[in-house]
Amino acid sequence: MLNPPPLSLYIHIPWCVQKCPYCDFNSHALKGDIPDMDYVEHLLTDLDNDLPLTSGRSVSTLFIGGGTPSLLGAEAMQRLLDGVRSRLTLEDNAEITMEANPGTVEADRFKAYQQAGVNRISIGVQSFSQPKLERMGRIHGPEEAKRAAHLAQGLGLRSFNLDLMHGLPDQSLDEALDDLRQAIELNPPHLSWYQLTIEPNTLFGSRPPVLPDDDALWDIYQRGHELLSAAGYQQYETSAYAKPGYQCQHNLNYWRFGDYLGIGCGAHGKLSFSDGRIIRTVKTRHPRGYMNGKYLDKQYNVETDERPFEFFMNRFRLLEAAPKADFSRLTGLDESVIRQNIDSALKLGYLTETSEHWQITEKGKLFLNSLLELFL
């Protein structure tokens, strides 16, 4: 018997103006105009097909990611969110986020997106250095990024986020900290600050640039963390910082092993049912197949022996203590099945334990992969 957790909705927009050399997300360079209204109709049909999986539950958060969602016109965004609201019950205080590029055209649409129902915008800044932006294949400049942040702030949104990367090709400590200082100056309620990693099947994967070495990366992280903490930001997840009360609720639901519907090209979903089943869904990746009406690529059960790893892989990304009761409530398993694994983690200093919680330690954060391997 499972007690279903909060439900979120993720919507994927698969197009970008051009593909960045580091990006391994499901994104496709646009050839011609974006077929936004046509794609929205497919998204809503995809959602219709998935509605039986929700068991009538309301949605607490909605996230429109990509790709570049801000390529959608205002009319298409209005149609999409109206369509979602007519099919699902959004909670009164639902967080509705969309990712946006800082480009002038996209930023000029922020007000229309807000009118459609978006109350949180995540702006893909990545760096404030023109040479670094060009090296990363980004098509905006530093001033456009600052303008987009000022626009988002001026709208009086519930929140906005700046995405920033560090460990960029040939990046020095001073350059990384300068990026961070400029971001902090814009006073976003939320900052995602994550390290560039080279992924296979990307341009950087086939022709790797020279990145800072491990010692330099550690210096950047430590000094950057100090800067963010001094500016009033609290780290709550591996690569996310927020002012108090401004954590991203959608991401928190992911990491707390919540449920989510995923619609759109390549979107993933996870749904729990009161009969004890947990299923995962994966949608067709390529826009061509998806827009021919083949939405579902695969659907499968999360077996009981896979659940401990899946639970902790998500849960230990968060720095907050993990309530022990959540393990049984969300996996349907008794704590006894992981007792030996937990004892090993305690012995290695990766976790601490009370009668109510498990807490990841500083050592556990540093050796997260080793900690998670204990639950495989």
Look at residues 3, 53, 101, 119 and name the one whose alpha carbon lies nearest to residue 262: 53
CATH domain 7-253 topology: TIM Barrel (3.20.20)
CA–CA distance, 103 with 217 (Å, rounded to integer): 29
CA–CA distance, 342 with 324 (Å, rounded to integer): 11
Low-confidence residues of the chain: pLDDT under 50: none
Strands 357-360 and 120-126: unpaired
CB atoms within 10 A of CB 227: 17
CATH 3.20.20.70 domain residues, the chain: 7-253
pLDDT at 192: 98
Look at residues 329, 189, 358 and name the one whose alpha carbon lies nearest to residue 258: 329
**Structure tokens given for 20:** 């960045």
pLDDT at 100: 94
CB atoms within 10 A of CB 244: 10
Which ranges of the chain does DSSP label H, i.e. alpha helix? 36-50, 74-87, 104-107, 110-116, 130-135, 142-154, 173-185, 203-206, 214-230, 249-255, 287-290, 307-315, 324-331, 339-347, 362-366, 368-373
pLDDT at 205: 80
Strands 120-126 and 90-100: parallel
pLDDT at 31: 83
pLDDT at 310: 96
pLDDT at 19: 82
pLDDT at 106: 80
**Structure tokens given for 13:** 């927009």
